[in-house]
Amino acid sequence: MSLSVDQARRVGGVVGILFVVIGVVSLFLPGTPPKADEVAKIGTFFTDKRGSILAANYLVYVAFVFFLMFVGALRAQFGAADRTGIRPGSAALAGGVAAASLVIAGTAVLNGAVFQVAAAGDANLNHALYDISNDLFIASGFGFAAFFAGSAVAVAITGALPRVLAPAGLVVALLNVVSGVGFFAKSGFFAIGGAYGIIVPLATLLWILAASLAMLRPVPAARSAAP
């Protein structure tokens, strides 16, 4: 069975919405994580929230299956609407795959840390694994930045999605780049466990939700027939 471009676009919209819904649940399920300077709370967090963290980690894996399907469908939509031969969706595809890989890696490290604390209870190891997992999550922001910047350019060139998503994508790309401050911030707004670590994922999910809803809308005949 083969899918038409229109059917693939609609499937992309559905899986994008599923990614957003599952992503929101996985983001908030474990509760508030320890901040970068709250070292003593890391082990307690792993112990007290063990079940919630493991469940959230599983949901992350499921969510990013849908995310990669969404990215593929979005790339196909950009390709179908492109009349320039530039293939503007390629950067979005590469950035999405890189971001997903880093998030999955960070989640795996966090999962291992939660199991380790029950077995050994080594505070130094807990701290190291917690920092490594969060560093991988922060690094994923650069992949997301490429995804959103690439998507913004593709929207501007092809008009495959509402034009407002082009500047919005650039804003979300910038937010993801700025999240790299978390690599060296020891405390405060940008540090691990700070408020910025919630703002950026929510902005990311909001753009993907808007794009997914747009992908579910019928394409106007005039646009689809445009040279």
Nearest to 77 by CA among 7, 146, 19, 16: 7
Model confidence at 223, pLDDT cuts 50, 70, 90, reads very low
Separation CA 2–CA 177 (nearest Å): 38
Q: How many CB atoms lie within 10 A of CB 30?
A: 21
The percent of residues in the chain predicted with pLDDT above 70, rounded, is 91
The mean of the pLDDT values for the chain is: 89
Question: What are the φ/ψ torsions at residue 81 (nearest 5 degrees)?
Answer: -90, -10
What pLDDT digit, counting tens, does each position of 72-127 carry?
999 988 988 877 767 778 889 999 999 999 999 999 999 998 987 655 567 888 88
Number of helices (H) and strands (E), helices first, in the chain?
Answer: 8, 0
What pLDDT digit, counting tens, does each position of 145-162 carry?
999 999 999 999 998 999
Q: Looking at residues 159-174, what average pLDDT do you find?
A: 96
- Contact between 42 and 114 under an 8 Å Cβ cutoff? The reply is no
What local confidence, expressed as pLDDT, does residue 19 receive? 98
Separation CA 81–CA 64 (nearest Å): 25
Task: Decide if pLDDT at 7 tops 50.
Answer: yes
What pLDDT digit, counting tens, does each position of 46-64 carry?
989 999 999 999 999 999 9
Separation CA 64–CA 29 (nearest Å): 17
What local confidence, expressed as pLDDT, does residue 3 receive? 64
